[in-house]
Structure 1
Amino acid sequence: MKKATFTCLFTFFLVINLSFAQEEGPAPSLNSGTISSQFDYLNTVSNNFQEYKVVKRTNLDQIRKNVSDSLNVFKDQLVTVKKDLKERQEQINVLESQMAEAQEQLSTAEEARDSFEFLGMPIHKSAYSSIMWTIVFVLTGALLFFLFQYSQSHKVISKARKDLEETVEEFEQHRKNTLDRERKLKRELVDALNKKPV
């Protein structure tokens, strides 16, 4: 019974691993590579007894652990895929409901397309268009006027700043000249006081 179970498990995992395997590792072993390559390695290192293969208990435990790990990884991936599938189905349902709402709004808009009310009064499309274009032109003119006023005031401000900078420069120069004159006068005064006989 155990032999039949092991043979079935061996065949099952061999088929699963062959379908998922992409490349074999550089050197076959029980610690790396695909499950299929690990079974091949186990088959290679196992001894023969009549028509049976004698497998070391540690190797068998290692391969069982590797297969269990692979199954757990596949289970985790399956859970993740199911979760993604559920989320996408929910997104599809939301999008379908939004599309139904948009379809209803579109049909309502198409019904109201030919006639509409503006400020509580029914108005024709051409009149509405004329009013809107008039408002656009008036606003554009106002914008251009304010831009012109802004550029003019900007020029005035620039000139005032330049004049201020020149005035500050002249003031600084005048202050330096005054300080130089004061120092010169103080020096002359000190020299004059020093020359005076006591």
Structure 2
Amino acid sequence: MKKSIFISLFTFFIAITSGIAQDETPAPSLNSGTIYSQFEYLNSVSNNYQEYKVVKRTNLDKIRQNVTDSLNVFKDQLVIVKKDLKERQAQIEELENQMAEVQQQLTKAEEARDSFEFLGMPIHKSAYNSIMWTIVVGLSAAFLFFLFQYSQSHKVISKARKDLEETVEEFEQHRKNTLERERKLKRELVDALNKKPV
């Protein structure tokens, strides 16, 4: 419990200290800060005379020197930026030329990809696909036709086999009946021969 209170107080102390440290800003002067802050400082340290401000010549010379230095720095930076801009424009033009070449190569590659030689003739892939699908559809139709014919033939053969089996059964039944009749007739003949007086 004491530890958590100590940690809370320590954290609060650090937050207050960092807040105070952030609020401290450097005092304005003619030797540092932005041009705007230097003009504000110059305005605050200048004396008033009626509706005018009286500025010390040394302060005026100092701020003029600071403005001149800042302008020179900006001019140098502008020269560097212009030079950098020219270099970047040259790079952009070079990249645009390279992109145009790459686009031409891509167009040629797409044309080469979309067509090829088939049996010595150049043919476009879409035409080749159409021909191949026509062949596939034709072969599928032929397959279905022959499959239908096969199923019809199979039905005819199945019926013929069934008829043959029925005929064989009828023939067997007829043969059995005929054998039975022959046996009967032989018995009757034997009986008739046995009954005949000798």
TM class by shorter chain equals 0.3 to 0.5
Q: If the length of structure 1 is used for normalisation, what is the TM-score? A: 0.44
Q: If the length of structure 2 is used for normalisation, what is the TM-score? A: 0.44
